[in-house]
Amino acid sequence: MENINHLQYTGSTEQLSKVWAWLVVMNILTLGIYSFWGKTMLRQYLARNFILADNNFMYHGTSKQLGLGFLTALPLWLLLILAYKIFADTALENAYAVFLTIIVIFLTFVGLFSSLRYRITHTTWRGMQATMDGNAWHYGACALWMAIVSLFSLGLMLGWMDHNLYKNKLNKITIQGLEVKYIGEAQDLFRINWITLLLAIPTLWLSRIWYTAYVRRYVYNHTYIGTYKIHNTEQGQQLVKLFVWGFATTLFSLGLLYPLVVQWKMQYIAKYFAIIGDLTKIKPTDDQTTNNSNGEGIYDIMDLETNLW
Amino acid sequence: MVAEDLTWKRIICFALLAIILILSVIFGIHAAAKPIAQAIPHKLLRAAGEYITVPYINKYGVCDADSGTAALDKIIQRITTVANISRPFEVTVIKAPNINDAFSAPGSKILLFSGLIAACNSADELTGILAHEIAHSIAGDPEVSIVRDNGLFIIFLAMFGRDPIISHHILTLKYSQQAEFAADALAIQLLQKSNINTSGLQDFLSRSTSDNPTHPATSARIKAIQKLAPPNSRMQPVLSHAEWAALKNICN
């Protein structure tokens, strides 16, 4: 009989509310500078409250690394903005606008890859630390290329793009000698992509949330960590419900109930995520995070918000 | 500090501090904008004025028929000389028959759109409007507005991480309306000192069919003007019929 180790989330709405209120207040008082400390505090709290096989996760990122990453990425942004000012009201204005759009899309993917790498490599479980190979710029270029193909195919190639994006991320991860391997096939995502695209307008784009749940379920159910298998059971219906309720709650509470929405999201992640295999074989080691890389500069500047990691 | 160390007492204390800070910014910026604006060198102000006015000039073109320009200069001279204003005002008429507006920019620059000249029934009305814009310029309102607007924008952006367009707009709306009442009052003073009919501005406003959101309600402005200058104030005409006709045709 398979060992199914369900992920558990033990955080509380009250504690999240305190963290959220604290972040808002401190960001006002420090004109946004506190955001690096705030993000670190929130991630540490969330990590501590995700438990797998009686062991919680630990987040080891620091505010200093996030801040330095931001400062490293800032000159690039300032250069792009300066160039925009220079080309405004000139014959090259439109050409630069197109160029800037492409660059922003490229940098979005670069930011997402490097932020994922930062978070994964700064999170441990039972002392196990992950590494993530690959180059964020290379990932960004590949993703940009795939985005252009998807655009010209009017979205028909999005399944292919999503398959490859996940593959290019997951297959780069190694957790303490255990290679993460995604073995899915792109064509398995084509049909669901086409169906949900067709239904996108009649369903006010909710069908695409269905697609997101399907892709995640498919990808994670075709991913191994060494000999351990990831088990994801999320369904489109639940994700749509989460999205609709989360959106409505945030909107009508003017953001005041946002911590409740975050709580729902964390509970949702834990509910549908498990690892199959005998995790007792993995002995705890001392947390020894030696990764000193700087944080998610491009991610922070572009304000690419993701839920957890 | 970790999340579990947070208490509601600590959060509320810091929240009160944040509220005090926000209120200080809101009222502090208003108080600090004028001294900051006054400290800006005139060279920079003129450059800022050009930055604002040149796009209009390039887009629409300028009306500068000699006789019309002479009539316009006469009005400006009349207002500024008797009132002992030494700084030179640069008034440019923009060729835009569909735009019924005028505004003052930093560096003593005033833009007058030809649509506004066409909408005026008399030289007194146009003089009243010009006096109003000169009053803005004397009070440093354009410069204060730029300092206030950019200062608020940057601070709100930093505090909230997004561009709070609505709150920023409402705040600057309030300041603009205060400045408008003050400009009307100073304009009446300038006209009275210059022996010019003060009812022109009131007459023009009375025909105004819509309220500009950055200005106080027209009825409120008319009431305030009436208190300062009763409608039976009759003074020397500022232009002859011929001069007024020439000004009306400044774009031809």
> Residue A1 — pLDDT band, cuts 50, 70, 90?
low
Of the residues A22, A26, A44, A301, the best mutation for testing chain B's interface (the one with the most B CB atoms within 10 Å of its CB) is A22
Under an 8 A CB cutoff, do B3 and A26 touch?
no
Put simply, whether A29 touches B (Cβ < 8 Å) is yes
Please tell me which residue of chain B has the smallest CA distance to A46.
B3
Under an 8 A CB cutoff, do A31 and B21 touch?
no
DSSP-derived 3-state class of residue B50: helix
Q: Is the pLDDT of residue A145 over 90?
A: yes
- The string of pLDDT tens digits covering residues B119-148 is 999 999 999 999 999 999 888 888 888 777
Q: Is the pLDDT of residue A157 over 50?
A: yes
Q: In this predicted model, which residue has the larger pLDDT, B83 or B161?
A: B83
pLDDT of residue B170: 44
For residue A25, give the nearest of B1, B7, B18 by CB distance.
Answer: B18
0.80 surpassed by pTM: no
Phi and psi torsions of A223, nearest 5°: -120, 135
Per-residue HEC secondary structure of chain A comes to CCCEEEEEECCCHHHHHHHHHHHHHHHHHCCCCCHHHHHHHHHHHHHHCEEECCEEEEECCCHHHHHHHHHHHHHHHHHHHHHHHHHCCCCCHHHHHHHHHHHHHHHHHHHHHHHHHHHHHCEEECCEEEEECCCHHHHHHHHHHHHHHHHHCCCCCHHHHHHHHHHHHHCCEEECCEEEEECCCHHHHHHHHHHHHHCCCCCCCHHHHHHHHHHHHHHHHCEEECCEEEEECCCHHHHHHHHHHHHHHHHHCCCCCHHHHHHHHHHHHHHCEEEECCHHHCCCCCCCCCCCCCCCHHHHHHCCCCCCC
pLDDT of residue B169: 53
Residue whose pair of structure tokens reads 């498919």 in the numeric block = A218
Q: Which residues of A touch B16 (CB under 8 A)?
A: none
| Overall average pLDDT of the B156-171 stretch | 51
Is the distance from CB of B224 to CB of B240 less than 8 angstroms?
no
| Overall average pLDDT of the B102-117 stretch | 90
> For the ranges A37-51, A84-98, A170-184, which has the lowest average pLDDT?
A84-98
Q: Is the pLDDT of residue A227 over 60?
A: yes
Under an 8 A CB cutoff, do B6 and A32 touch?
no
Q: Is the pLDDT of residue A177 over 80?
A: yes
Q: Which residues of B touch A27 (CB under 8 A)?
A: 159-161
Task: Return all residues near A47 (Cβ < 8 A) that are at least 6 apart.
Answer: A56, A57, A58, A59, A123
- % pLDDT > 90, chain A: 65
| Overall average pLDDT of the A209-227 stretch | 94
Q: Which residues of A touch B21 (CB under 8 A)?
A: 28-29
| Complex confidence, ipTM | 0.78
- The string of pLDDT tens digits covering residues B72-101 is 999 998 888 876 777 788 999 999 999 888
What value does the mean pLDDT of chain A take?
A: 88
For residue B159, give the nearest of A18, A31, A41 by CB distance.
Answer: A31
- The string of pLDDT tens digits covering residues A26-48 is 998 998 899 999 999 999 999 99
